Amino acid sequence: MPSFISNFNALHRQWILQVFISFCICMLIANAGVRYLQKHTWWAKRDLQMGGFQNEAIAEQYTYGKQKKDIVIVGSSVSTQLPPEGVRPRHVGTIFIQGSGGMSGLELLVRSGAAPKLVLVEIDFLARGVDIALIDTIYTANLIKKYIPALRYENNLVNLFSKRYIKTVSLKPLPQALMDKVNLQLAPRIDAELKAAAGVALPESDIQLLLNMIEARTRILSQRGCKIVFFALPKHPKKVDLPGDLRWKQKLSERFPHYPIIEPNPNTSYFLVDGLHFCAASGKAYFDYLMQEIKRLGL
Amino acid sequence: MENFFISSIFFLACIGSLLIYYLPFSRRLQIPLLICVSLGIYWLAAGNLIFLLLFCCVNTAIFSYGAAYAAIKWRKKMMITGIIINISLLVFFKYKRLFIPSTLFAGWFGNDPVWMGIYQLALPIGISFYVFHGLSLMIDSYLNPVLLKTSEHSFLKHLQKTMLYLVFFPQLVAGPIAKGKFFYTQIKPKLFANIDWTNALRALVQGYFLKEVIANNLNQLTAPLSYPEAWAHTASNELLWMVIGYSAQIFADFAGYSLIAIGLGRLYGYELPINFNCPYFAHSFSNFWTRWHISLSSWLRDYLYIPLGGNRISAMRTYANLMIVMAIGGLWHGPEWKYVTWGLLHGSALAIERLLSGRLQFITIYLPTILQAVIQVLRILFVFAFVTFAWLFFRLNSVQEVITFVQHVQAWRMVYTPSHQASLLLLYIFSGTIFAYHLLNSGVLSTMTLRLKRYDGYLAGLLLVLCLIAKGKENAFIYFQF
């Protein structure tokens, strides 16, 4: 043995051998466990979107396992309860990315090669663009993750734990008194938000760039036979028909006249727990409304 | 730099540089190679701010050399000048916004774009660490000139060694703060045959486990602490556990980083100081500061507290010294008053403890052994509770937020959300893991630990697998911001 590695004595060798053996055995057990859980237990039934569940896991849930859904809804965390997990029909898949929006969902659909019959795109946070870091993470070492499912984020021990212990949300409507109290508390915050956002508009060049990004992705999906439908989210009464939102919708309908935009029913009120996100009951109600509208449009 | 220590570029750079570093013919070039690799890494992270680091290196080299070799009457002056320049750099780049409002600065320099550009410069990464390294070398060179004189009497050699001491990449951005006398004497060509493989890899595996699995997961679980508007919708017991979780997170994050740095240092043949020694098992505040961020607390003790008179002066002066040292220790973490408050809080605890300790010891000495043990456990719990409460000043944005947070916990409100149970269970598990880590390392289970040590390679393999299958979402090391 050359002198410069002569210190690699028996103790070092023994320790490294222990690490290697233990690593291989633990990895085999973890992988076998994940494969077993995927086939035999509560695992497959859970389709968590948020509530401590990571974006990576949500994206992988779709990328690696749920590509055969007829309808896929893509959006931001605001759409999370569309519909709540416990009442989600088997043919509906969802990709809701926190901090990003529908564009990341579209990108995932394109990259994963999926071809659902209908893609519902939330338009409110499309301007956030694609979360490139997330997409890169999902597709880094894609092949390894495909064959060693234990390495996927969706199978991360912490995410498994969340899947096991996060309970399905209750669809019971919240008491009116509580909703009134929350709305009262929210009012000053929403006023402040509106004040901060007043006069701030997305430059025309950015809008065109975003429209081009949407077009590039929806074109690919259309070529695969998908139908595209946009939908807007219900807003807090103070935030309805803000100039920025109206302009964005107008630009969308001008560029994509063949994709319908479903607007919330003005006669129904939805409770938004923080002025933005649905409570479970409202999410279910709005999802039912979306499905009705899709039927009405003959899609 | 944020996730640099877990990036593939980093692993490639390490393996590549290690291979070249230990080639027999490159032994003479080891120090320049390590300096180049370190500077390259820093340049990738900090860009042009590398020139500030280089200036600090040259300044430290000149004045530490002067402090060791100049005529006796000049040595002290050389050291003081070097210290003033280094501290000025730190004050200007780190604390200018705390002491000089931007309007006042603009008034002085008439909105000159160059000066305003300097004023608005981002905080140079690792400045607190490399400036403290520089100060240490200058003081040690003055107090113990033999330190430098053991090497060749050449300024260029000294410059090279000083540069390596300041820029050595494992300790450059977040320590541990190796003292001059500790690191400088280690700088010499290294042999592959001397690598302590087992201890280096053991430290690396533990470090990555603490960071990737414990700290990163706890970071997500304690994220609601950043959103005061969410506290009203969160159960009080969950809020309380989030603070305990943050306490575990900051330990796992920083101890994890320190272990990675120590492991990397060992691979390159350098021993860095241990930074943590089961701090949450401390039975007193003074004991806590001999276990938490040991390299900083011993730096402050050696270069600030003792020169101020330490505890060899009147009681009042000692208390004042404790407050000064802890306030500066707090300020070292960042240019915000909340850090000063945190430091003063610890300073007060140390002063009060010092005031009471003699009397308490007198009482406990006459108690039965079992009661003494119970008191010891209660003291550990009290110190942990206080330290954990003080972390709120680190985590939250202002003293007002701390007060609001405490009110929300005090209200003891129960709100059950679907994720509540899972989050709480995960907080118990990860915080509990830190408790177990303390238990295994503290010597409480010494016989069992010794027996286990023979097989800890298997444990390391398991930890490695957990780093892959239970890691949390990446986030920067907390101490990178300091």
Query: Predicted confidence band at A51 (pLDDT cuts at 50, 70, 90)?
Result: low
Mean pLDDT, to the nearest integer, of B418-423? 67
Contacts of A162 in chain B (CB under 8 A): 419, 422, 426
Contact present, B55 and B93 (Cβ < 8 Å): no
pLDDT of residue A22: 93
pLDDT of residue A2: 46
Contacts of A136 in chain B (CB under 8 A): none
Residue B339, pLDDT above cutoff 60: yes
Tell me the C-alpha to C-alpha distance, in Å, between residue B345 and each of A165, B283, B306, B391.
Answer: 39, 17, 21, 10
pLDDT of residue B479: 67
Mean pLDDT, to the nearest integer, of B316-338? 86
Taking only the tens place, the pLDDT of each residue in A159-206 is: 887 777 776 667 777 777 777 777 777 777 777 777 777 767 778 888
Q: Does A8 touch chain B (CB under 8 A)?
A: yes
pLDDT of residue A49: 64
253-272 of A, contacting B, C-beta below 8 A: none
Tokens (6 digits) for A295: 């039927």
CA distance A239 to chain B (A): 19
Tokens (6 digits) for B353: 């403890």
Residue A61, pLDDT above cutoff 50: yes
CA distance B220 to chain A (A): 8
CA-nearest residue of chain B to A1?
B193
Contacts of A6 in chain B (CB under 8 A): 193
214-273 of B, contacting A, C-beta below 8 A: 217, 220-221, 229, 232-233
Mean pLDDT, to the nearest integer, of B21-35? 86
> Which H or E run includes A121?
strand A118-122
Residue B472 φ/ψ, nearest 5 degrees: -90, 175
Contact present, B327 and B318 (Cβ < 8 Å): no
Of A158, A164, A165, the CB nearest to B472: A158
Mean pLDDT, to the nearest integer, of A84-109? 84
Strand partners, A119: A72, A228
How many angstroms separate the CA atoms of B181 and B144, rounded?
Answer: 8
Residue A130, pLDDT above cutoff 90: no
How many angstroms separate the CA atoms of B162 and B141, rounded?
Answer: 11
pLDDT of residue A195: 76
Mean pLDDT, to the nearest integer, of B286-290? 91
Residue B1, pLDDT above cutoff 70: no
Contacts of B471 in chain A (CB under 8 A): 156
Query: Predicted confidence band at B482 (pLDDT cuts at 50, 70, 90)?
Result: low
Most confident listed range (B145-149, B186-190, B215-219): B215-219
CA-nearest residue of chain A to B218?
A158
Strand partners, A94: A73
Is A15 in contact with B197 (Cβ distance < 8 A)?
Answer: yes
pLDDT of residue A20: 93
pLDDT of residue A1: 43
Mean pLDDT, to the nearest integer, of B162-173? 88
Contact present, A31 and A149 (Cβ < 8 Å): yes
Burial classification of residue B168, based on how many CB atoms lie within 10 Å of its CB (0-12 exposed, 13-18 middle, 19 or more buried)? buried
pLDDT of residue A3: 46
Residue A65, pLDDT above cutoff 50: yes
Taking only the tens place, the pLDDT of each residue in A217-273 is: 999 999 988 899 999 888 877 777 777 888 888 888 888 888 888 888 877 778 777
ipTM of the complex: 0.78
Tell me the C-alpha to C-alpha distance, in Å, between residue B368 and each of B357, B358, B362, B407.
Answer: 19, 19, 13, 39
Residues of chain B with pLDDT > 70, as a percent, come to 93
pLDDT of residue A168: 67
Query: Predicted confidence band at B294 (pLDDT cuts at 50, 70, 90)?
Result: very high
Mean pLDDT, to the nearest integer, of B82-108? 81
Taking only the tens place, the pLDDT of each residue in A71-82 is: 889 888 888 888
Q: Which amino acid, residue B336?
A: E
pLDDT of residue A115: 85
Tokens (6 digits) for B153: 């009497």
Mean pLDDT, to the nearest integer, of B150-157? 74
Residue A281, pLDDT above cutoff 60: yes
Tell me the C-alpha to C-alpha distance, in Å, between residue B27 and each of B21, B34, B195, B249.
Answer: 7, 11, 14, 40
- Higher-confidence residue of B207 and B454: namely B207
Task: Using alpha carbons only, give the angle B251, B254, B260 rounded to the nearest 5 degrees.
Answer: 125
Q: Does A292 touch chain B (CB under 8 A)?
A: no
Nearest to A154 by CA among A47, A24, A14, A17: A47
Q: Does A213 touch chain B (CB under 8 A)?
A: no
Q: Which of B82-91, B167-176, B223-232 is predicted with the least confidence, judged by mean pLDDT?
A: B223-232
Residue A4, pLDDT above cutoff 80: no
Taking only the tens place, the pLDDT of each residue in A7-32 is: 567 777 888 899 999 999 999 999 89
Nearest to A99 by CA among A82, A72, A65, A75: A75
Exposed e or buried b for every residue in A287-299, given b needs 16+ CB within 10 A?
bebbeebbeeeee
Mean pLDDT of chain B: 84
pLDDT of residue B71: 82
